[in-house]
Structure 1
């Protein structure tokens, strides 16, 4: 079933748009008619997605972006404004996870890197996106949290803390802008087939099946489907919520 999300001409920023969920989201947004502005640390990967969008007849732009750096976040939003004149939507997706360790064995640098990218990166992006959206007449933001923004997982306290922080920041910011034309929500994916998932599992797609009520991992396009709805006017009365795309994990 093809839904018309009425994103034609809208300008949407995607961080971490060079691979995994961000890549799929960027391509899905372009197919829905959006003009996509991609930020990614790996420039070659980000540019490849832009080229794919343009080859298919879409519009896209890229800037190498480390979301842990506030100046990079500001510059990415500035690129959207300079190239397309407005910002209507955003998928703040960039994130990472390091090794599984108990707290007392977790390197201090892992705490800093994961909090800086996963949590502070979302806050930085929202700061500049919201300022641009207020100029543009409103918009919608979707932050990529995780199922572990809603529940815990052993040996990853630093990651769980960052993802819970994203959910909390989403809710609080949604209240701040509820009367100013900006909706802010989060998606909370469970295990999704991405390159980062493959690095953790060694490519075993069934490693975590027993922990998912639906007994399978998800696909990036299943996250993109929720994203498109949240960025569209079809979800016009939805703000401050976190949608689980997790095969039922959050229900347990």
Structure 2
């Protein structure tokens, strides 16, 4: 049977690169996002490259939509074998004591609760399929702090904790659960930076550049593949040496 993967936040950036990589490897790729138009373009690109793909809209901050996403995936392709909980938002910049409540709740709802709800919906389906692999998208800020980003940093640390806990719980049941922590990656999110800001951030990476979406996609795919069969409950930073300092 052809394997099936769900990738959330797959309309652009890292999610798109990850979805394309799974499509290249022969998976049925469920592209999920709240952005229908861009998601349909990703589905089209996967199919034009010879792959199999389908779009299912879902807001991961709502548990019921995460459950529906999995149910529709199984209905469409028969089973679920892998999932990448990638959907996320960066949030506003503000000091901890001044952080706006509404934005805090949004960041936590998507970046933290969305990953939990995803896992809670995906795990039963994978148990039914006889096993599987989940990759949760944290950040290099899942292991270090960053001024004026308290909501984002809290959520990404929480994703690491969730991954370790669930990884322990389901390792003997055939489900491997791991987390990835990207540094600054060349995605549309960095387009807001001016040249001076870009240079400062590049200098913070010992490798001397930003990462590329495909580099993160390669790591995510490996963690979901049988080549990583002894890897579970772990957190893998891919940040050009940023957090090694």
Moved over 2 A (4+): 202-207
Q: Corresponding residue for 1:5?
A: none
Q: For this pair of structures, how many residues does the alignment match?
A: 244
SS in 1 for 2:173: coil
Query: What residue number does 1:38 align with?
Result: 31
- 2:169 counterpart of 1:161: no
Which of 205, 225, 241 is the equivalent residue of 1:248?
241
Aligned with residue 192 of structure 1, among 161, 185, 190: 185
Residue 205 of structure 1 deviates from its aligned partner by 4.6
Find 2:110's aligned residue among 102, 112, 117: 117
Partner of 2:76: 83
Deviation track 1:220-251 (CA, whole Å, cap 9, x = no partner) reads 00101101110111010000111111001121
Q: Is 1:58 the counterpart of 2:46 in the alignment?
A: no
Q: Secondary structure at the match of 2:230?
A: coil
Q: How many angstroms apart in 2 are the aligned matches of 1:23 and 1:153?
A: 26
Shift of 1:215: 1.6
Is contact 1:206–1:217 with CA below 8 Å preserved after alignment? no
Hey, what's the Cα distance between the residues in 1 that align with 2:47 and 2:118? 25
> CA–CA distance in 1 between the matches of 2:56 and 2:111?
19
Aligned Cα root-mean-square deviation (Å): 1.3
Gaps of 5+ in 2: none
State whether structure 2 residue 131 is matched by structure 1 residue 138: yes
CA shift, 1:75, in A, is: 1.1
Structure 1 stretch 57-66 or stretch 181-190: which is displaced more? 57-66
Aligned to 1:4: none
Alignment of 1:170-181 (within 5 A): 170-181=163-174
**In structure 2, how many angstroms separate the alpha carbons of the residues matched to 1:210 and 1:114?**
28
| TM-score, normalised via structure 2 length | 0.97
Which residues in structure 2 correspond to 1:88-103 (within 5 Å)?
88-103=81-96
1:164 Cα deviation after fit: 0.1
Separation in 2 of the partners of 1:39 and 1:205? 30
Whose helix proportion is higher, 1 or 2?
A: 2
The answer as to whether partners of 1:191 and 1:246 remain within 8 angstroms in 2 is yes
